[in-house]
């Protein structure tokens, strides 16, 4: 007997790097489906496929047309979605794959860095009602005016997952990576970093904005604005997952409770000292948003290329 809960999962490229990994993810999705959940899975391109496609594009043209680059890069996620649907079918689980445009992801017309304007998941709902797992290509959408395919830029698959979860009013949006949830610092750099079982949206957004390789900060702020419950966990296991919730404020003095005071350290060059006397996350985010609105800072370097 099926229930009404919808779970949206996003699987990154490292989780889909090989056919064996795709089959392993398909097996976990089949188990979730068998327990009565309606499942939507957003997939990134396999492994380093997007980087390889970008490298190929620049070998052909030193200045590739942005529209054609979007057409090229979206093929990576299409490969993943098709293979995942095939793997699920072999397990006896009904599944269907959709591109971003087929799933109703509507964007503006900015190639390589489009913004989601609306999500109209008509076909997604229809297939969920038929008992199928719906596999969606992340990182892409369509401009409803020009009918042109667009890509969402860095963190695009994360943003796709959160936007779809919001549109479907999903029970939660699970971001599946190859790390155990979120840590207080990059464990590859800081050996005594601690796993964080709970985080608020504001703190996670700060961490991601300043370089923590967890989610793109755009997707975190979208989850916060749409009140989408987030769970970040390692592929194949949930005991070390991180739950992301609204910020908890002390009742009398408005101070953020101690559980949210964390610093994201994701890169190490020549750091002599870090000293932070006080931080109000909400004010910090507001200041950062104002800077971004003026397009004054931060700017992407020329070397940066779009990636899923």
pLDDT of residue 258: 40
Tell me how many domains the chain contains. Answer: 1
**Average pLDDT of span 27-55:** 96
The answer to whether the beta carbons of residues 206 and 281 sit under 8 Å apart is yes
- Please report whether residue 298 resides in a domain: no
Radius of gyration, alpha carbons of the chain: 19
294, pLDDT greater than 90:
no
Q: Which of 24-38, 134-148, 181-195, 278-292 has the lowest mean pLDDT?
A: 278-292
| CATH number, residue 75 | 3.40.1160.10
Mean pLDDT computed over 105-115: 96
165 domain residue, yes or no: yes
Whole domain around residue 224: which residue ranges?
A: 6-293
Residue 299 placed within a domain: no
Mean pLDDT, all residues of the chain: 82
Position 33 in a domain: yes
Q: Are 133 and 41 in contact (CB under 8 A)?
A: yes
* 284: nearest Cα among 185, 177, 210, 179: 210
Structure tokens at 72: 């090229």
Name the pLDDT band for 289 (thresholds 50, 70, 90): low
3-state DSSP percent of the chain in helix, strand and coil, to 5: 35, 20, 45
* Better pLDDT: 133 or 241: 133
Q: For residue 206, tell me if it sits in a domain.
A: yes
pTM of the model: 0.79
Assess if residue 1 is contained within a domain: no
Please check whether residue 303 lies inside any domain of the structure: no
| pLDDT over 60 at 198, yes or no | yes
306 domain residue, yes or no: no
């Amino acid at each position: 007997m099926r229930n009404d809960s919808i779970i949206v999962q996003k699987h990154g490229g490292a989780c889909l790097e090989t056919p064996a990994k795709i089959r392993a993810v398909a097996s976990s999705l089949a188990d979730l489906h068998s327990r009565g959940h309606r499942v939507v899975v957003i997939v990134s391109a396999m492994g380093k496929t997007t980087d390889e496609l970008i490298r190929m594009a620049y070998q052909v043209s030193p200045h590739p047309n942005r529209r054609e680059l979007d057409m090229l890069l979206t093929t990576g996620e299409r490969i993943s979605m098709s293979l995942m649907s095939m793997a699920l079918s072999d397990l006896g689980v009904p599944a269907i794959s959709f591109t971003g445009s087929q799933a109703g992801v509507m964007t503006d017309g900015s190639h390589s860095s489009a913004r989601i304007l609306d999500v109209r998941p008509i076909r997604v709902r229809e297939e969920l009602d038929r008992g199928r797992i719906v596999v969606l290509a992340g990182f892409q959408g369509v401009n409803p005016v020009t009918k042109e395919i667009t890509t969402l830029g860095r963190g695009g698959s994360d943003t796709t997952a959160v936007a779809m979860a919001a549109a479907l009013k999903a029970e939660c949006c699970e971001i599946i990576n190859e790390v155990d949830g979120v840590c207080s610092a990059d464990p590859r750099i800081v050996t005594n970093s601690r796993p964080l079982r709970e985080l608020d949206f504001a703190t996670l957004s700060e961490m991601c904005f300043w370089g923590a390789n967890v989610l793109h900060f755009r997707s975190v702020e979208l989850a916060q604005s749409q009140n989408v419950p987030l769970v970040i966990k390692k592929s194949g296991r949930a005991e070390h997952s991180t739950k992301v919730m609204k910020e908890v404020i002390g009742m009398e003095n408005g101070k953020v409770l101690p559980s949210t005071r964390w610093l994201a350290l994701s890169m190490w060059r020549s750091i002599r000292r870090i000293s932070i006397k006080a931080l109000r996350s909400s004010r910090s985010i507001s200041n950062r948003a104002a800077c971004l609105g003026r397009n004054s800072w931060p700017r992407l370097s020329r070397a940066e290329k779009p990636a899923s």
